[in-house]
Every structure is written in structure tokens, then in C-alpha cells.
Amino acid sequence: MPIATLPAAVAARIAAGEVIERPASVVKELVENALDAGARRITVALRGGGIERIEVADDGCGIAAAEVELAFARYATSKLRSDDDLAHLSTFGFRGEALPSIAAVADVALTTRTADAAGGVRLTLRDGLVIERRPLGRPVGTTVEVRDLFSRLPARRKYLRSASTEAALVVQLVGQMALACPEVAFTLAVDGKPVLSTDGSGDRARAALAVLGQKVSRDLVPVDWSAPDDWPATVRVRGLAGHRAAHRPNRSGISLFVNRRLIQSRALTTAVEEAYRTLIPTGRHPIVVLDLEVDPAEVDVNVHPAKAEVRLLRERAVFGAVQRALHEALARAGVARGWAGAEVDGQDSAQEPQLRGLRVLGQVSQTYIIAEGEAGLYLVDQHAAHERVLYEELRLAQLAGQRAQLLLEPISLELDPATVALAEAHRADLTLAGFEVEPFGSSTVLVRSIPALSRQVDPVRFAQEVLIALGEAGPADDWRERLRILASCKAAVRAGDPLTPEEMLGLLERLGEKELCRTCSHGRPTALLLSHRQLEQEFGRR
């Protein structure tokens, strides 16, 4: 489509706001333009954190010489004509705002050539106005050079951070775009030094190696999940999911894309974190790169000035898809089977040791079980391990719809009024988890059933502890999950409970069966392994 100015009615529907806030916003817009132009190779270079200079060069289709000036006009775009197009967007750009916005806050030079043009053209702008136009030979494609960002706008320049911080934001951004588009070769240089280069082979794992490094990419498993026909939204989830040691103390490792567009979404981030809840330690965040392919008609990309957020028509179905995709990918990779101990061991844990054929040696401090197995010596946290087993039991029982153990007589519990109110508010979730409760006045509840568990528990103490913990726990996104976690914690054997050898063996066998020994439901490790090799090293036998 040739470039044209949007009809006023369409322009009026465009979400307005500040497009350019910092060097990374310039880079984002320019790289998006290059991708929209079908580029296979995109080169980004920064100087002085991008405040001094940014250059983005591509081998895309180029801009026709006759349209170069128009490209810098507000609301001039080749990607959109009508309201109807706005509802089915498959390009990153559509507002015709980026080039004029950049030219308004920095000096810009754009050089471009299309395939049918004999040569290229170079346009130089200052203060948003063209100050020079001249022919310039170049291969097909476009190069945009942006200098001295905000130099004439001191109030806005003040909000920029140090050159190194701004550069780091660009590095993060280009890395994420490279992961979203593995079929495009990205190169990034900062102050003349190459910092990133992907090969454009289309293999996301190779892109991840270049972007995230060898240590992290070793622990990434592929994700590729398509919604079945009866799923309430058409969605495919592709990408990479971290396991083992691939987690971080913050959320910087979570990159989410909708139709390859990098987006920020608290809700989607929560969906990802929930999928990992019992697999990584509490307080850590997974490394996940996911592109959600959604029907463009079901995504509204016109809701945020910097296009960083989108609105999904079938949000819940898409979140569900993310969780299913992650569960499936991690299960396929056998992640649930991983041993925390494999990290202690320090060896490549390709073959995870199994909790089978163990010999129980004893109990330490009435808290840890010591056992010997083929791989070496195991130290198992009895509470964490039992909690994990019970959590799995509850989860499976709920899936199967068998949940409650009816009490012969209801128990009445005295609780504070806030907890009674909470129990009332979450009665449906409690019932689903196996707790049938019925408020009885403002400070009493009647408990008619508790979850069916393999361990004999004192129903009064169990129900009381779960309800009190529920009252103390604060808000939750997923009350059912919270109830499973609380119930498994409260029903599990505790540190300090003496166990007979038979009980210990029983617990270890079940832990092995569940194949979920990596972490307890709070994400703490359940067991450590001291391998034969490690023992030999420690004792200087090797």
C-alpha cells in the first residue's frame, strides 16, 4: 500500500499519548518499521546510550522516493486505511506517528531505496522539517539515523537516565525482539562494540543462545501448544520455558508477545508465574519467552500510546492456553521429576536420579530423612516432601471430582468474624477443595467435610488451621490453588514429628511415585542429593 494520510475519522480513533520517551522507544519504533518492511537483517547501533546517536538499518522493502517526505507526516501510514483495517492489524505500526514523533524530538536522517528504484535517496530533517534531500546510492532497504535526542527539549532530556542505563534498556529490548522474531538476523552494537547478534535461522533456541547466553539456554525447553478445537479461543503458544536453574530474582526474564508484539501484561505474567508456582523456589521468577498467536481480530492493539499493552477479546481462554502450554512443555521435559539435589551435585543433570529402591538410614533432628539410593545419599525434608505428596493428591482428587471426606458430625469452629466472612466469601472454592463450611453466626463456622487425604489428620485442628491461615494469607489470584497449598501444608507431617522407618520409606516411595520431588508446594527444595562423586571429592578420594 502506498503511504497516505489517515482519514480524520480514523486518526481520531487512535490512542494518543507520548510515543517517544527514551532511546529504547526510538529503537522499538524503528525496528518495528523494519520488521513491517519485511526485513531479514536488522542492524542497530547506539552511541552514548542512544542519546547521542541511534542507527537502525534494514534490508526491507524501502520507501518509494516520492513518498519519503510523506512518511514524516503525522498519521501518514502505508499500513492502515479504514476503521475496518484497525480491527484486523497484522503489522506492528499503524498510526503513522513514529517517524514524525522522532523527528520532532531529535535530528533525523533517513536513507532508503526500493527494489525498482535505480538509486537511493537521503532525507535530512531538523526540528521536524526537511533541510536536505539528495540522491545516495545504497542497497534496497532503509537506514534511519537519530541524533541528539531531546537536545532541544531540556525538560524531557532531564528524565533520561545515564547512558549506560539507557543502553541497557535497548539491549534488553533488542534481545526480546530477536527472540520474538528468530527468522530475522539482529545485530546490536553499543559504542562500537558488538553486544548481540542472532543468525536469523528461524530457530528460537539458537536466538536464545545468542540473547540469553549458554548457561540459561541450556535450561530452556521448547513450548509449542495449539488450542484444541473446543478451546474458546484460537490460540497457539510458542516459545521457550526455563527449568532447573533458569530463574531470576525479578521478572526481567519473562518476555511475552502477542503476535510477536512485545507486551506488558500483569495478568499474563501472573498466568506464567502460576504455572511455575510449585516448580521454582518462592520469590524467584521464571525465564520464559512466549509468543501467543491470536487471531488479529481478537486483539485490540490500539489501547496504549507506546503499543505496550493490548486488549484480548478472550482473555481468560488465552491465559488458560499459556498455562496449559507451559505445563505441557515442562511435563514433557520431565521438569517435575527434577531433583533439587541435581544442582547441589553440580553435574549436568540430564539423567535425573529417581527416588526408587531407597534404603532409609534414619531421621535427623526429627526433621530430615536420610536415605541411600543408587545415585548417592539423600537428605529429605520430611515436611516439604510430605506436603508435596499431599498437594499432588489434592490436585488429582480435585481434577477427578472426588474431594470430600464427610464428617460423621459437623465440627463447629470459633473463628474471628473476618475469617468467618472470608470463609463465606470463598465458600465455593472451599467446597471444591473439600471443605464444606457453613457460617453459623458471626464468629462460628460449621465444617461438614474435609478433603480426603491419605494421612489421618485431626479434623478439628486441620480445618481450624487451614481457615486461620486462609484469613492471614491476604489476597490471592487463585484461591483454589491457595487452598491446596494450605491444606497440604497443614496436613503434612511436621518437623519434630517422629517417624517410624516404615513411615519414612512409605513417604519416600510415594514421593518417587509422584515424580514431583523437586520442590514442596511452597517451592522450597524437598530433597538434596549428595552424589557418590561429590562424596568422593569431599573426602579427597579423587
Judged by the rule CB under 6 A, the positions of this chain that interact with ligand ADP are 3, 29, 33-34, 37, 58, 60-63, 71, 76-79, 93-99, 142
| Min CB(93)–Mg ion separation in Å | 3
Query: What are the Cα distances from residue 247, in Å, to 138, 240, 242, 244?
Result: 44, 13, 7, 8
How far apart are alpha carbons 414 and 393 in whole angstroms?
28
Q: Which residues contact 8 (CB under 8 A, 6 or more apart)?
A: none
How far apart are alpha carbons 186 and 174 in whole angstroms?
8
Query: What are the Cα distances from residue 32, in Å, to 107, 184, 262, 281?
Result: 20, 12, 10, 36
How far apart are alpha carbons 99 and 72 in whole angstroms?
5
HSE toward the beta carbon, residue 402, CA cutoff 13 A: 6
Q: Which residues of 40-70 are buried (b: 16+ CB within 10 A; e: fewer)?
A: eebbbbbbbbbbbbbbbbbbbbbbbbebbbb
| Min CB(250)–Mg ion separation in Å | 30
Nearer to ligand ADP, 3 or 263 (CB): 3
CA 501 to mean position of chain CA atoms: 42
Rg of the Cα trace of the chain? 29
| Min CB(432)–ligand ADP separation in Å | 47
Answer with the entry of ligand ADP, Mg ion, none that 221 interacts with (C-beta below 5 to 8 A by kind): none
Nearer to Mg ion, 173 or 325 (CB): 173
Nearer to Mg ion, 28 or 482 (CB): 28
HSE toward the beta carbon, residue 354, CA cutoff 13 A: 8
By beta carbon distance, the residue nearest ligand ADP is: 93
90 contacts 72 by C-beta, under 8 angstroms: no
The per-residue DSSP string of 323-367 comes to HHHHHHHHHHTTGGG--HHHHHH-S--SS-----S-EEEEEETTT
| Min CB(32)–Mg ion separation in Å | 5
Task: Determine the interface stretch with Mg ion among 25-33, 144-152, 497-505, 508-516 (rule: CB under 5 A).
Answer: 25-33
Nearer to ligand ADP, 110 or 432 (CB): 110
Answer with the entry of Mg ion, ligand ADP, none that 517 interacts with (C-beta below 5 to 8 A by kind): none
| Min CB(125)–ligand ADP separation in Å | 13
How far apart are alpha carbons 183 and 199 in whole angstroms?
8
166 contacts 49 by C-beta, under 8 angstroms: yes
Answer with the entry of Mg ion, ligand ADP, none that 78 interacts with (C-beta below 5 to 8 A by kind): ligand ADP
Binding residue count for Mg ion, defined by CB under 5 A: 3
| Min CB(28)–ligand ADP separation in Å | 11
Nearer to ligand ADP, 76 or 507 (CB): 76
| Min CB(31)–ligand ADP separation in Å | 9
State which H helix or E strand residue 32 sits in.
helix 23-36
Q: Does 521 bind Mg ion (CB under 5 A)?
A: no
By beta carbon distance, the residue nearest Mg ion is: 93
| Helix spans in 64-162 (H) | 68-71, 83-86, 98-105, 154-157
Torsion, Cα 6 10 15 16, to 10 degrees, reads 50
Nearer to Mg ion, 100 or 341 (CB): 100
Nearer to ligand ADP, 140 or 421 (CB): 140
Nearer to ligand ADP, 50 or 60 (CB): 60
Q: Does 33 bind Mg ion (CB under 5 A)?
A: yes
Binding positions for Mg ion, 58-117, rule CB under 5 A: 93, 98
Answer with the entry of Mg ion, ligand ADP, none that 393 interacts with (C-beta below 5 to 8 A by kind): none
| Min CB(216)–Mg ion separation in Å | 31
Nearer to ligand ADP, 60 or 305 (CB): 60
30 contacts 103 by C-beta, under 8 angstroms: no
| Min CB(19)–Mg ion separation in Å | 9
Nearer to Mg ion, 33 or 198 (CB): 33
| Min CB(257)–ligand ADP separation in Å | 18
Nearest CA to 28 among 188, 226, 211? 188
- Chain residues that interact with Mg ion, rule: CB under 5 A: 33, 93, 98
